[in-house]
A and B are shown apart, each in its own frame.
Chain A
């Protein structure tokens, strides 16, 4: 059976939109439960940390430039939290290292 690309796009859009919008619209009041509030407080740190490592090491052409980008990124973020500066330093690290590797 031949499928229509626009129906694929519609199906994936509906699923993705509902996943994001249901919690946003249904949970309107501050949550009372201390456990759930604590859980949601920790969610971003865990999720972003898990997504960063080890994925960053596999994202680059050379594993070593990925590891270097991770370390430089952590170091720069530690002393200067600016989003753009941290992201650029990680990119520059990879670019410069891969000129030599």
Chain B
């Protein structure tokens, strides 16, 4: 591993620490769901290692518990995880030219909300080795937390679980608020997005849609409108 690759990997590892801690907490509660669905610790840990998706895994465990058909499971998984399609489109433009096919196929295992957020908040294009650094800490944490959730269940006190559950949202805020402070358009978009998300969660018909579907609809509508109203200049999109 050359020096540049090594230092990219190390800075990825460092970003992986807070993500991994957050993942341990969230995947722990996911493990409790997996246990209730009848999975063993190994099966739940394997699911987490392969899927790296909170909502997608909740959906999967619920379908397993309901003994759903395989086709129905595939369809639900497509809906629950479709937002990663948009994230991967954006991430494809953020990866440096050094990222080859194999690199991209490895990154594809773990395009998650948090690692996506961290990648997009970097000023420059990112090296695949930076992403591998994040993956090598956060993925084992995600899998281990799920395993622990199954085997040791409800040992954490309720108030600790409650406190840890906002950690991931804190990471989202750390990804979007600093750019919003510097750019008034982004600030307005963040505010409008939160407002419309609240409205959609309260409206009778829209609130029945799953959170994944609502996220996709709002992303397409708001980011689409913003792209028409405020097209980015050559230098500010980092492409």
Q: Roughly how many angstroms separate A51 CA and B113 CA in the complex, as a whole number? A: 9
Question: If A87-B167, A98-B162 touch, does A8 touch B64 (CB 8 Å cutoff)?
Answer: yes
Q: Roughly how many angstroms separate A86 CA and B57 CA in the complex, as a whole number? A: 26
How many contacts A-B (CB < 8 Å)?
Answer: 305
A contact residues, total (Cβ < 8 Å) = 77
A80 CB to closest chain B CB (Å) equals 9
B111 neighbours in A (Cβ, 8 Å): 20, 24
Question: If A17-B109, A24-B91 touch, does A47 touch B83 (CB 8 Å cutoff)?
Answer: yes
Q: Do B88 and A23 touch across chains, with their CB atoms under 8 A apart?
A: yes
Q: Is the interface of A mostly helix, strand, loop or mixed?
A: helix
B contact residues, total (Cβ < 8 Å) = 104
Which residue of A8, A19, A45, A90 contacts B85 across the interface (Cβ within 8 Å)?
A19
Q: Do B163 and A94 touch across chains, with their CB atoms under 8 A apart?
A: yes
Q: Which residue of A lies closest to B68 (CB)?
A: A3
Q: Do A69 and B169 touch across chains, with their CB atoms under 8 A apart?
A: yes
Q: Roughly how many angstroms separate A25 CA and B111 CA in the complex, as a whole number? A: 13
B84 neighbours in A (Cβ, 8 Å): 16, 19-20
Q: Do A43 and B93 touch across chains, with their CB atoms under 8 A apart?
A: no
Q: Do A21 and B88 touch across chains, with their CB atoms under 8 A apart?
A: yes
Q: Do B170 and A60 touch across chains, with their CB atoms under 8 A apart?
A: no
A51 neighbours in B (Cβ, 8 Å): 113, 169, 172, 197, 211, 215
Q: Which residue of A lies closest to B171 (CB)?
A: A87
B70 neighbours in A (Cβ, 8 Å): 3, 7-8, 11
Closest 4 CB pairs of A and B: A21-B108, A90-B170, A87-B170, A77-B177
A-contacting residues of B (Cβ < 8 Å)?
15, 17-19, 21-22, 38-39, 43, 46-47, 50-53, 56-57, 60, 63-64, 67-70, 73-74, 77-78, 81-93, 95, 101, 104-105, 107-109, 111, 113, 116-118, 120-121, 158-160, 162-181, 186, 189-190, 193-194, 196-198, 201, 211, 214-215, 218-219, 222-224, 226-228, 230-232, 236-237, 239
Q: 16 additional contacts, CB 8 Å, given A50-B219, A60-B163?
A: A3-B64, A3-B68, A5-B43, A9-B46, A24-B108, A30-B93, A43-B89, A46-B190, A47-B87, A50-B218, A52-B176, A56-B166, A66-B166, A78-B178, A86-B171, A86-B174
What are 15 A-to-B residue pairs whose CB atoms are below 8 Å? A3-B68, A3-B70, A8-B73, A9-B60, A20-B85, A25-B104, A28-B92, A43-B87, A45-B180, A46-B222, A50-B197, A51-B197, A61-B162, A83-B18, A94-B163
B-contacting residues of A (Cβ < 8 Å)?
1-3, 5-9, 11-17, 19-25, 27-28, 30-31, 34-56, 59-61, 65-66, 69-70, 73-74, 77-78, 81-95, 98-99
